[in-house]
Amino acid sequence: MARSITARRKTINTAIAWSIGLLIFFPILWTILTSFKSEADAIAFPPKFLFFDWTLENYAVVQERSDYTRYLWNSIIIAGLSTLIGVIIAIPAAWSMAFVPSRHTKDILLWMLSTKMLPAVGVLYPMYLIFIKLGLLDTRTGLVMVLMLINLPIIVWMLYTYFKEIPGEILEAARMDGASLPKEIIYVLTPMAVPGIASTLLLNFILAWNEAFWTLNLTAAKAAPLTAFIASYSSPEGLFYAKLSAASTMAIAPILIMGWFSQKQLVRGLTFGAVK
Amino acid sequence: MATKASRTAARMMMAPAVIVLLGWMLVPLIMTLWFSFRNYLPLRGGDLGFAGFDNYVRFITSSAFWPAVLATLTIVLGTLIITVVLGVLLALLLDQPMWGQGIVRILVIAPFFVMPTVSGLVWKNMFLDSVNGLFAHAARAIGVTPVEWIIEAPFFSIILITSWTWLPFATLILLTAIQSLDSEQLDAAEMDGAPKIKRFWYIIVPHMSRAITVVILIQTIFLLSVFAEIFVTTAGAFGSKTLTYLIYQRVLESQNIGLGSAGGVYAIILANIVAVFLMRIVGKNLDA
């Protein structure tokens, strides 16, 4: 008896949860479907869900007209390098805070976090000016630097929380065996922390990929990543739903897949350990 | 445990991260402060000298200021209420036993990974557009005149987009908090005959309250600086100009750097007020 009630409740839960899940996912699904339609089918009334002539034409057109690969490449370089450099700078810092904590460790961690709270628009002009003076405007180098800096606090925090979980005794044992500090970090700590470091790389790559304040304001044609590429579709002339959808699908597909793998790290990375 | 040598080494290893972040924080901040006291118009004569607090006064007395404050509050509060209320309900639902829970989680979390320019444009054109959007199609299907949402209901439009982005975040954080709840406590309450409502109100809600606070604080900080969603939809028109957007326009469009910088200082102060509360919670957790 009790079992049948739970089974029925489970069925109801499943039905409600799937409906809501699909409703929330629908705009993405709709975008992906529309990207395979002809422009006429894309705006057809009543809307066509699955029964239309599937075509890959939009993808070809988007690539041809706007040189999609260049923006993609910019996105990969900017998000990838900024994350990688951030992690390289953050590993030693997180190591020292996790294993040789001092009175000030907590203050430093909180201070780093506070730099993340600085509203970007508050320093827009100074950054603009610095970029012009240093010749960094519309360069990938400049964006790599800025995105590295805005994500560095999150990177340090995530690595710190992962390192904290590694038992200090293992590091001490390595030290006793005569391992020097760099060796200790490279050969003992890093292998144990690989899952944590990988998660940190993944989440911060996603955050950098989707960043849309500095990437819109500090680039023009040369260094613009996908965020800016999509924004160029906001002008009303020549707007085509199917092509917008194809461009959008290409811009979000890689990151959606990565995002699904980083769900758990998201909580750790964006709540700074305040929710466990 | 730590020797003096390792302490020195530790400090040196911390140095690069601390130095770059210090530079990142101080240099632009000091420049913004400096400009905010100057009469600085790059396209109309350049730096015209010291302005005292003129820019600060002019920024808050300009006719655009209060509407911008109101727009900011509307978007932040609207999104917070929607995402927190729906987030709690959705997290409770996802915590129930069901088939294909993993897949539902994936479906729910997906919007958070969509870049803001994409979510803005997809919603604006494919859903909210009064001619070809799905909402317009739905309206026509039931015989109602379609609405030009972006123009007639700009706040509804923007809040819809930001809520769609942040609901997954709230749900995920709150779900994590629920799942860390000790189920024995709930079982004990159930055995003691506490009805479902009471169990929810006296055990689950207090347990979630901190997670809810964290969600509110983090979202507030991000929502205060919402930019791309407005940039690609209304571009600040139809009364949807937020503080962030107003400052952006003062700086880059009207090139009034002094005025924009004073606005920037206000924005920094505002964000810091929120940040202080968040830091307190995070800091407490560090001691535990």
- pLDDT digit string, tens, across residues A197-245: 888 888 889 889 988 889 888 888 888 888 888 888 776 655 688 888 8
**Higher confidence at residue A18 or residue A174?**
A18
DSSP bridge partners of B3: none
The mean per-residue pLDDT over the stretch A102-119 comes to: 85
Q: Is the pTM of this model over 0.90?
A: no
B116/A212 CB distance under 8 A: yes
DSSP bridge partners of B50: B38
E strand segments, B130-210: none
B17/A206 CB distance under 8 A: no
Domains contained in chain A, CATH given? 2-58 (no CATH), 61-271 (1.10.3720.10)
Task: Please tell me the predicted confidence (pLDDT) of residue A3.
Answer: 52
Domains contained in chain B, CATH given? 4-287 (1.10.3720.10)
* CB < 8 Å from B in window 31-70 of A: 31, 34, 42-43, 45-47
Q: What is the ipTM of this complex?
A: 0.85
CA distances from A2 to A9, A248, B101, B122, B185 (A): 11, 48, 22, 46, 22
Task: Please tell me the predicted confidence (pLDDT) of residue A172.
Answer: 78
Point out the residue among A18, A95, A125 whose CB comes nearest to the CB of B261.
Answer: A125
Find the range with the poorest average confidence among A13-17, A180-184, B112-116, B246-250: A180-184
The mean per-residue pLDDT over the stretch A88-107 comes to: 87
* CB < 8 Å from B in window 5-34 of A: 6, 9-10, 13-14, 16-18, 20-22, 24-25, 27-28, 30-31, 34
Find the range with the poorest average confidence among A1-5, A8-12, B3-7: A1-5
DSSP assignment of B12-53 equals: HHHHHHHHHHHHHHHHHHHHHHHHHTEEEETTTTEEEEE-TT
The mean per-residue pLDDT over the stretch A153-175 comes to: 84
* Residue B173 contacts A, CB cutoff 8 Å: yes
Task: Please tell me the predicted confidence (pLDDT) of residue A1.
Answer: 42
The mean per-residue pLDDT over the stretch B242-268 comes to: 88
* CB < 8 Å from A in window 75-94 of B: 90, 93-94
Task: Please tell me the predicted confidence (pLDDT) of residue B81.
Answer: 94
SS3 letters across B190-210: HHCCCCHHHHHHHHHHHHHHH
- Extract the tokens encoding B108: 């729910």
* Residue B110 contacts A, CB cutoff 8 Å: yes
Say if residue A101's pLDDT is above 70. Answer: yes
User: Which letter, b or e, does each residue of B251-281 get, where b requires 16 or more Cβ atoms within 10 Å of its Cβ?
Assistant: beeebbbbbbbbbbbbbbebbeebbeebbeb
Q: Are A110 and B282 in contact (CB under 8 A)?
A: yes
CA distance A149 to chain B (A): 7
